[in-house]
Amino acid sequence: MDIQKIVLIWPGREGRIFGKAPGSPYTLMRLASLVPDEIPVEIWDEDLGALPMHRVDARTLVGITSKTLTIERAQKIAMDARARGARVVIGGTHATLSPEEVTQWADVTAVGEGYYTWPQIIRDAMNDRLQKVYTDESWANLAGVATLSDRVIAMTHEHRDYWTPFMEITRGCPRDCHFCTAIRVSGKIMRHRPIDEVVDEIERRRIKRFFLTDDNFGLNFRTAPDYIVKLFDALAKLNLNGWTAQAEMMVGNFPELLAMARRAHLDKFFIGFESINADNRRDLGGKSKGGIEEYKRVINTVHAHGIGVVGLFVLGLDGDTPDVFENTWNFVRASELDAVSFTIMTPYPGTELRREYVEQGRLLPNISWDKYDTAHVVFQPKHMSVEQLRRGYDWICRRAYASLEIAARGARALRRHPLHQYQRRAFSSFSTDVAYRQTVSYRDREPDFRWRTPARLNLTPQL
């Protein structure tokens, strides 16, 4: 194949919010940086606008990244590109979790990481020896891998077009939560990018805020403290407005590292408390035990070091009964969390959880992949009806994301900072809740749904 250009596509879903797309297409920026200089490469982000498919022809190699919820859209784009003669490669989460499905309509399916297979795919396309499937699940060292090129930084317009820049510092998680897809995509081996590469990337992108893509950055407090100390030392020297990372609760046991994190401009930890229901302990993979007193202690400790806490909760676990919604809300309201996310348990392909649900006949029939967005019920809960879980989720989201609640949490988060920092902290104090409210908006809701605080939840009689 004589490749005239390579086009990397992010299938759209969110669109623009107040003129910008929510987050930079970081996955595609890394992949585009692996394209040899002599081949023109473009990133097409459908959240920014309609894709110029008329520019695809038989000399275009198209790469599409896939999550489960956008895989149907990815397929439509792929069919269109193939009809124009292009060769189409699908990679990313869904291609990794369900390759047997994707191979039916893609020219090439890239399973696992693309850091090594993507350059190979480009070479094979040029030499007309493309294979149907490429797999990289070796979880190789990240040093020097897919460093963002200046060409890609210049073409992406991160500052103009996107609210949040993303950034990868570590990758992988050694835990084994049975609902988790991230470990299938990023592997169970925790790997670290060299700190000088991280600093160099931040400086060349000229970003002052970023959201870490790392699945369990906080676990490194325990498993790689030396790396974390060096990283924080390096980040402390940069002129950053703040950054956020995902963590599990045990970061609360490392006060010295929390103090360093603050000096390194860490703004917020997203912490997976997952459930306030101790009956769900089995499902939480050891990182959380449903113990409310412990949650409060962690939140207070992290706050005491000037770092915010975004609480992540999953609803619909097997131990949950209809009182979980009010109990969770009561905890959240009293907890002083800076922002909060509720998701409905979702059995993604390739997980142990899905295998269990299939075995037990609990997957709802005829649910399309675009409903796998964690805001829809796609399975039969154990101790509730589908309708109860749906309505309970609606109820808690309406309470949590009512404008006044968002304002109160944001103002509380802002007050944690010194007055002279208010201006630069304002965006991040409110943006997380606003983004979660946007996610809930994709829900198929009752026609009279309003963002107002609803009355007391009444889920009886059993629906």
Which residues contribute to the site for ligand SF4 (CB under 6 A)?
A: 173, 175-177, 180, 182-183, 215-216, 248, 272, 285, 287
Give strand pairing partners of 247: 271
Q: Which residue is nearest to ligand B12 (CB)?
A: 91
Residue 47 tokens read as 């959240």
DSSP type of residue 107? S
Is residue 97 a contact point for ligand B12 (CB under 6 A)?
yes
Which residue's CB is nearer to ligand SF4, number 213 or number 301?
Answer: 213
30 near ligand B12, judged by CB under 6 A:
yes
Cβ of residue 300: shortest distance to ligand SF4, in angstroms?
Answer: 22
Q: Smallest gap, in angstroms, from Cβ of residue 81 to ligand B12?
A: 12
Q: Least distance from C-beta 53 to ligand SF4, angstroms?
A: 35
**Restricting to residues 321-380, which ones interact with ligand B12 according to CB under 6 A?**
343, 348, 373-374
What residue 149 binds from ligand SF4, ligand B12, none (CB within 5 to 8 A, per partner kind)?
Answer: none
- C-alpha 79/C-alpha 64 separation (Å) is 12
Residue 288 binds ligand B12, judged by CB under 6 A: no
Residue 405, amino acid: E
Q: Does 114 bind ligand B12 (CB under 6 A)?
A: yes
Among 5, 13, 178, 445, binds ligand B12 (CB under 6 A): 13
CB proximity list for 428: less than 8 A, separation 6 or greater: 209, 241, 242, 244, 267, 268, 413
Record the tokens describing residue 106, joined without a space.
């893609």
Residue 218 near ligand B12 by CB under 6 A: no
Residue 87 interacts with ligand B12 (CB under 6 A)? Answer: no
In single-letter form, the type of residue at position 183 comes to I
49-58 contacts at long range (C-beta below 8 A, 24 or more positions apart): 51/9, 51/77, 53/77, 53/80, 53/81, 53/84, 55/7, 56/7, 56/80, 56/81, 56/84, 56/86, 57/4, 57/84, 57/85, 57/86, 58/84, 58/85, 58/86
Partner interacting with residue 175 (select from ligand SF4, ligand B12, none; CB below 5-8 Å by kind): ligand SF4
Residue type, 139: W
List interacting residues with ligand B12 (CB under 6 A): 13-14, 22-23, 25-27, 30-31, 63, 65, 67-70, 89, 91-94, 97, 110, 113-115, 118, 166, 168, 180-182, 185-186, 213, 215, 343, 348, 373-374, 439
